[in-house]
Structure 1
Amino acid sequence: MEKTYNFIDVFSGCGGLSYGLEQSGLNCLLGIDHDRDAMKTFERNHPNSQSFCGDIRELDNAKIMEMVGNQKVDLIVGGPPCQGFSTVGKGKSEDPRNLLFLEFLRLVKLFKPQGILIENVTGLLAKKNKDVLTRVFDEFHQLGYNVDARVLSAEEFGVPEKRRRTIIVGFKDEFEPSFPNPTHGVRGSWPLKTVAEAFSSISKDANHHLVEKAQLKNELDKKRLSHIPQGEGIRYQRDEIRLLPSELHYNVNWQELRESRFRQTRLQRLNLEEQAPTILTSRTMYFHPTENRYLTAREAAAIQSFPNEFSFEGSTTSVFKQIGNAVPVELAKTLGLHLQKILNHEVSSTNKVEDFKKYAFHYNKQIAI
């Protein structure tokens, strides 16, 4: 009989990571997050798991031990708040939110799991965060864990989205941390999944009633959008001239804009035959490939590889935030399968842990292995 490994999901959000890990055969004991709507979503989709909604610093050891009971914790996983490591904005390494990593460490010290998994933005491997990441690695080493890091690209693991994230894996000394090989694309066995495939997986009932909420209220933008082909958008003046009739041009002085461009591409349509760009937390970032509207929440969720049966709680704004912050389910499932292979001594590391500093702080050059 195959062993089932248990895990705790810290900073779980709505549960994309834990849901994918459960699909791989792991068992979620507990989810922890401060976002009320996200935890309502977590509870709805993890009926057999415990949950805690609130500041993890207020969840003392006695309470968490009571919630877990006498069940063994094999893995602790999670995505600590990433603002302090983001490549967008200031991204200061001394950001106090970085200290929440210490709360993750507290649970590792408490339960002494066989392994850990941390997901974060690619900026975590930026040079400006070198001291922070080195400290994190040193803390795990002192606890007896071998730790390694990679940037993985979600599209290489069956997700119809170009999403790159830092994944940190750590295991007790008797195991070697490693990462799954790509399953899709030129380095995998299957072709990359497309937006069209994501949309085809959505049941009509799950999406139809959401289309009305996805309509543009600004009629001028709706007219502009009607001229935008799939995979295109307006960021530079040359885009405006090429794609829009003069009467629909933006009333801006392009030369006065920073770098003579919009900070974010406007009216950016997805392309049905390609992968979507990274799904963000705002519902107004991307537009449907062929219809003159935003994406629905169900469409954004499908691009993040959430199945139809995964239900979300909260307002439209809240749901998009949950989706944008989530780990793609298919990536999480692949990671879960690989973690179990490590625990079952079925794989070994292809890179020595001590070599990570040779590449860790050049995240722009990182690819999955």
Structure 2
Amino acid sequence: MTHRANSSKGDTKVTQGNSPTFIELFAGCGGLSLGLRSAGFREVMANELSSMPAETFALNLMNVDMRSSEFQQTEPKDRKVLWIDSSSDDVSERLVDNPFERPETNMAELSGIDDFEGRLIVGDIRRLNAFIEDRGSALVHGEVDLVSGGPPCQSFSLAGRREFGNQRNQLPWEFAKFVDVQRPRMVLLENVEGILRPFKLDSTTYYAWFEVCKAFANIGYATCPMLVNARLAGVAQNRPRFIMLAIREDLVSNLSEDIAPWFAQGVRLIEAVKSEDPAYDKNEWRYWDLTDEADASRAEVSVFAPLVAFRDPAKQHTVYDAIRDLQDVDAPARSKYVKELNSVLGDYLEGGNPKMQNLRHPNSTPKVQARFRVYQVIANSPKQVGDEIKKIMRGQKTDISDATYQALLKRDLLEYGNGLPTDHGSMVDYLAGMKTRKFSQRALVSTLPAPAALSIPDDVAHYSEPRTLSVREMARIQSFPDSFEFRGIATTGGARRRYQVPQYTQIGNAVPPLLGRALGKVVSSILSSL
């Protein structure tokens, strides 16, 4: 990538009134897009690899039903949704295809279109960048305020393997390549917390977040890397995320005195990459940790305040706030939090469904339901009690203390085939009979935000009912409004997990809209100072 300090002189800015504009890459089902829209941004284009989340995005954010006969009979040149490489002439077949096995075509649906404003482009960002290179110009005419997105991050995740050469690790560089042509005023990149952890290759230690910042410094963008948590922005989920904001180099001198220090390191990095490939040095390069007391206090009195607006634990939203009215039995009234969620975000959907969808939760066998009830005991018991229960369930312990026995008796345990336990010995047999290879399963705690990982339905049990969560309940926790309808299959398994993005995964991969809204407020404030 070549270094460019400035955008093209004389560019006409893409605006509608005073609304800042943005292009969304790696758009997924639209969580970040919805959040940015609710913060006053106007979306001018989007790109997503997989058809399943693209279908959800189109329905809710473009009011385009890709399964309708009207859409399927419309000529590509007149559609709002286009495929880079179509796997079939039948749109319904495209909606369930494997995006990693699409044939490379002549990109017929893109040819002949001059300005892609108002379009969703379905396909690989690498192929899109190849199309842009052949075209010789940006996809959207004029200056755009922001290019945003969250490149897929499986190989940066702490839960997965750390693979330096994984092709998905190269996608932040493809993001930078797109930005280098479009030259927006700002960039917003979102990724998993795992990108902050070091990894080794041939005895050399690398920091992925720093390498990503260097990629943007190489094309003339001053970066501001941060660790944030969606919980601190009002989401009912304890979800740490890496965020990189960046400003085009020619605009940095316009920053106000209170904002400039946040990007000062990014300015130094631009200068550093002009003469060398700087290695990471903890004494010279850092990220802002807005989950830490010192950095959060500084953010609280700056334009970054929306990202720490819920620092006070008493203000933070819980699982109970998010989903209590969706209980199967004796459901309480909808919370003020959910009502505000629907009014703050729901008004910015162009489509969706006014009648709440995605309410069905998976059925479980009696044994699984009994296990979920025990997980609820674990979640609400002292650590030593929970640890003892787990050891018995895993066959690592063959006796039980009286404290653990009494803790279990206090709950309404469920029978799954051999009767309910009546003494210490039968309690051990009862727990041992639940043995499973899934050690990641746990129950939610009603008084706390949900944990970060919520993409596989049977990993998490409800806080009081012996079941997993519905798609709608997971969406609520992630702060999606009730009129946001998820399309595609609900879940998948086996080899299809490698390429299908079902409803639960769409939610798990998404930027929570309330976090997107907070980020939008931050970016808007920075843009107004330029």
Give the TM-score normalised by the residue count of structure 1.
Answer: 0.81
Q: Secondary structure in 2 aligned to 1:89? A: coil
Q: Secondary structure in 1 aligned to 2:40? A: coil
Q: Secondary structure in 2 aligned to 1:340? A: helix
> 1:119-268 residue pairs with structure 2 within 5 A?
119-128=190-199, 130-173=206-249, 174-175=251-252, 176=260, 180-181=304-305, 182-186=308-312, 191-199=315-323, 200=334, 201=338, 206=356, 210-211=359-360, 213-216=361-364, 218-229=365-376, 232=379, 236-239=387-390, 240=393, 242=404, 243=408, 245-251=427-433, 264-266=439-441, 268=442
CA distance in 1, matches of 2:46, 2:56: 11
CA distance in 1, matches of 2:150, 2:378: 30
Deviations 1:318-343 (A, max 9, x none): 10010000011101100001100000
Structure 2 partner of 1:22: 37
* Greater CA drift, 73-82 or 46-55: 46-55
Q: Secondary structure in 2 aligned to 1:224? A: helix
Offset, 1:53: 1.1
Amino acid aligned to 1:220: K
Q: Contact (CA 8 Å) 1:31, 1:42: kept in 2 or not?
A: no
Offset, 1:289: 1.4
Structure 2 partner of 1:76: 147
Runs of 5+ consecutive residues of structure 1 not aligned to the other structure:
254-260, 347-369
Distance change >3 Å, CA 73–CA 292, structure 1 → 2? same
CA distance in 1, matches of 2:512, 2:372: 28
Distance change >3 Å, CA 206–CA 248, structure 1 → 2? farther
Distance change >3 Å, CA 61–CA 68, structure 1 → 2? closer
CA distance in 2, matches of 1:22, 1:144: 27
Q: Could you tell me the percent identity over the aligned residues?
A: 29
Q: Contact (CA 8 Å) 2:30, 2:57: kept in 1 or not?
A: yes
Question: Is 1:34 aligned to residue 46 of structure 2?
Answer: no
Structure 1 partner of 2:528: 344
Runs of 5+ consecutive residues of structure 2 not aligned to the other structure:
1-15, 64-117, 200-204, 253-259, 264-298, 324-333, 343-353, 394-399, 414-426, 492-501
Q: Contact (CA 8 Å) 2:230, 2:515: kept in 1 or not?
A: yes
Of 294, 298, 316, which aligns to 2:472? 298
Offset, 1:285: 1.1
Structure 1 partner of 2:166: 95
CA distance in 1, matches of 2:224, 2:489: 38
Deviations 1:299-331 (A, max 9, x none): 000000001121111111110010000011101
Structure 2 partner of 1:355: none
Distance change >3 Å, CA 224–CA 252, structure 1 → 2? closer
Amino acid aligned to 2:482: N
Of 109, 113, 123, which aligns to 1:54? 123
Give the total of aligned pairs: 333
Larger Rg: 2
Distance change >3 Å, CA 71–CA 157, structure 1 → 2? same
Deviations 1:180-210 (A, max 9, x none): 23011328xx700111211233899626x73
Q: Give the root-mean-square deviation of aligned CA atoms.
A: 3.0
